[in-house]
């Protein structure tokens, strides 16, 4: 007997994928119609069905403003909020890496980038250093664990404040290394505790700097913590030390390009006789989740046009192409950005909205940032007005595309701090 086994071709697989997408679109459309049913049980079943379809339906959900039925509008808002929170929670989980064999530094970084989607810049490393080879065996480890493999005594990682790039860079080995811990997509580094005399017979302060890093694919906005949430326990004593400024509430904005945060903690102690200590505490980080590009094609005809994605609406209030330099083309765009957020959250962290990515796209697909800067026009509860200026453009931008990249959801994340065996530097030790 002859058995023939046929394998689906790429074309067949693509056809199947298109058919599945079409089926999902039709299913979503049918459930949206059922949301306006006069029967409460039918509406409840339709809402549950849309939730069970999962986050793939998010781009298929209509704007609530376009729905005529009040019950449909309310249900779609609830569904979007629930699914966007699911997306956000998923984004906080660590990406994973599996690699085995001999790799150059350049290829190892490239493979980690490919598997995690986290872009790693190697621009600060020499060709010789990029060509150095190492043997690795990584089996389903987190991104930050993989990065520790790439880091060596002469390498370290950081986010450049000017560009926000995650860079692998040369690093002079320190006498006393920092201690790291990981929680989901986050990494916390603590420098060695440095003793400093407070005064005659008044004891010392043990001080350390904490560095908080997110995976590069995430966009942290704001860090907040209470010093009273931290405690330090030295290795030679069962005494728990409280922070020097216990009770303080501190907020750290990360700003444009800032993708990591640094905070300082100090603890009063009688002496620095111990060799190490353990730090326990918690931080709260505001993160922009589910960033979406909001596009306005044919810029010259986009005045008073609004676009909505998730919980954000962007409106082009005015467009002007008359610039101060007649020899080069120019564009001035005034925007109104409205977020469906609680007033307190928005007002406390408003500066982040001015650092959303904005650019023009020319007919060749090249992106042009606002090299003429921006001006804040107004700030309200849940809304801001901003003017962006683009200068020295090669051609007339009337028909170009304008893109505003907006996070459709902001989430507060609590990050537990559990750092063990943080070394305590000796007063007379030589350190860099």
Reported as a single tens digit per residue, the pLDDT across 204-220 is 889 999 999 999 988 88
Residue 417 located in a structural domain? no
Q: What are 42's two structure tokens?
A: 């039918």
Looking at the structure, do residues 122 and 73 belong to the same domain, yes or no?
no
In tens, the pLDDT along 221-268 reads: 888 899 999 999 988 776 788 898 878 888 887 754 567 888 899 999
Residue 201 located in a structural domain? no
Looking at the structure, do residues 164 and 54 belong to the same domain, yes or no?
no
Beta strands in 106-259 (DSSP E): 133-142, 155-159, 166-170, 179-183, 186-190, 194-197, 204-214, 219-226, 231-234, 240-241, 249-253
Question: Which domain, by its residues, includes 341?
Answer: 289-408
Looking at the structure, do residues 392 and 319 belong to the same domain, yes or no?
yes
Looking at the structure, do residues 295 and 385 belong to the same domain, yes or no?
yes
Residue 345 located in a structural domain? yes
Give the integer Cα–Cα distance in Å for 302 and 46.
Answer: 36
Q: Sign of torsion, CA 133 174 219 229?
A: positive
Domain at 337, CATH number: 2.60.40
Positions of the chain with pLDDT lower than 70, given as ranges: 1-19, 21, 172-176, 199-202, 238, 255-258, 310, 340-351, 427-432
The domain total for the chain is 3
Give the integer Cα–Cα distance in Å for 79 and 403.
Answer: 26
Q: Which of 119, 139, 173 corresponds to the end of one domain?
A: 173
Looking at the structure, do residues 103 and 167 belong to the same domain, yes or no?
yes
Residue 231 located in a structural domain? no
Residue 41 located in a structural domain? no
Quote the pTM value.
0.73
Nearest to 431 by CA among 152, 267, 192, 264: 192
Q: What are 297's two structure tokens?
A: 């094609």
Looking at the structure, do residues 310 and 404 belong to the same domain, yes or no?
yes
User: So what's the pLDDT on residue 399?
Assistant: 93
Percent of the chain with pLDDT over 70: 86
Q: Which of 131, 156, 173 corresponds to the end of one domain?
A: 173
User: So what's the pLDDT on residue 428?
Assistant: 54
HSE at residue 189, side-chain half, CA atoms within 13 A, is 15
User: So what's the pLDDT on residue 427?
Assistant: 64
Residue 28 located in a structural domain? no
Residue 135 located in a structural domain? yes
Give the integer Cα–Cα distance in Å for 288 and 409.
Answer: 6
Looking at the structure, do residues 79 and 152 belong to the same domain, yes or no?
no
Looking at the structure, do residues 380 and 293 belong to the same domain, yes or no?
yes
The pLDDT mean for the chain works out to 84
Residue 374 located in a structural domain? yes
Looking at the structure, do residues 161 and 53 belong to the same domain, yes or no?
no
Domain at 130, CATH number: 3.55.50.60
Q: Which of 128, 156, 173 corresponds to the end of one domain?
A: 173
Looking at the structure, do residues 294 and 398 belong to the same domain, yes or no?
yes
Looking at the structure, do residues 62 and 100 belong to the same domain, yes or no?
no
Structural contact between residues 50 and 31, judged by C-beta atoms closer than 8 angstroms: yes
Looking at the structure, do residues 86 and 99 belong to the same domain, yes or no?
no
Give the integer Cα–Cα distance in Å for 330 and 366.
Answer: 16
User: So what's the pLDDT on residue 394?
Assistant: 86
């Amino acid at each position: 007997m002859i058995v023939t086994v046929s394998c689906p071709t790429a074309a067949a697989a693509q056809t199947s994928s298109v058919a599945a997408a079409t089926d999902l679109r039709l299913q979503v459309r049918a459930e949206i119609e059922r949301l306006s049913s006069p029967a409460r049980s039918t509406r409840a079943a339709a809402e549950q069905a849309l939730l069970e379809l999962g986050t793939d339906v998010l781009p298929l959900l209509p704007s609530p403003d376009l729905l005529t039925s009040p019950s449909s509008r309310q249900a779609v808002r609830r569904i979007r909020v629930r699914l966007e929170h699911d997306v956000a929670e998923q984004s906080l989980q660590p990406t994973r890496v599996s690699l085995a064999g001999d790799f150059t530094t350049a290829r190892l970084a490239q493979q980690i980038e490919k598997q995690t989607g986290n872009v790693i810049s190697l621009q600060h490393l020499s060709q010789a250093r990029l060509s150095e080879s190492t043997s690795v065996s990584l089996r389903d480890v987190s991104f930050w664990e993989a990065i520790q493999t790439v880091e060596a005594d002469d390498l370290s990682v950081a986010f450049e404040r000017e560009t926000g790039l995650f860079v692998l860079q040369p690093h002079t080995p320190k006498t006393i290394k920092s201690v790291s811990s990981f929680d989901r997509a986050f990494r916390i580094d603590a420098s060695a505790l440095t003793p400093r005399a407070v005064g005659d017979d008044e004891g010392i302060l043990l001080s350390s700097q904490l560095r908080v890093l997110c995976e590069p694919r995430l966009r942290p906005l704001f860090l907040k913590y209470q010093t009273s949430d931290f405690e330090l326990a030295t290795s030679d004593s069962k005494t728990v030390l409280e922070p020097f400024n216990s009770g303080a509430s501190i907020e750290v904005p990360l700003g444009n390009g800032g993708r990591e945060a640094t905070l300082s903690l100090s603890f009063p102690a009688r002496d620095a006789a111990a060799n190490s200590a353990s730090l326990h505490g918690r931080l709260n980080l505001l993160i922009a989740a589910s960033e979406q590009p909001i596009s306005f094609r044919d810029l010259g005809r986009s005045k008073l046009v609004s676009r909505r994605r998730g919980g954000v609406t962007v409106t082009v209030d005015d467009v002007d192409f008359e610039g101060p330099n007649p020899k080069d083309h120019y564009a001035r765009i005034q925007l109104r950005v409205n977020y469906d957020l609680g007033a307190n959250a928005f007002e406390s962290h408003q500066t982040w909205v001015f650092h959303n990515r904005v650019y023009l796209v020319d007919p060749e697909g090249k992106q042009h940032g606002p090299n003429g800067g921006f001006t804040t026009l107004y700030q309200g509860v849940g809304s801001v007005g901003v003017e962006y200026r683009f200068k020295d453009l090669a051609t007339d931008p009337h028909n170009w595309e304008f893109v505003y990249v907006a996070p459709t959801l902001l989430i507060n994340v609590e990050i537990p701090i559990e750092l063990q065996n943080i070394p305590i530097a000796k007063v007379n030790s030589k350190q860099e």
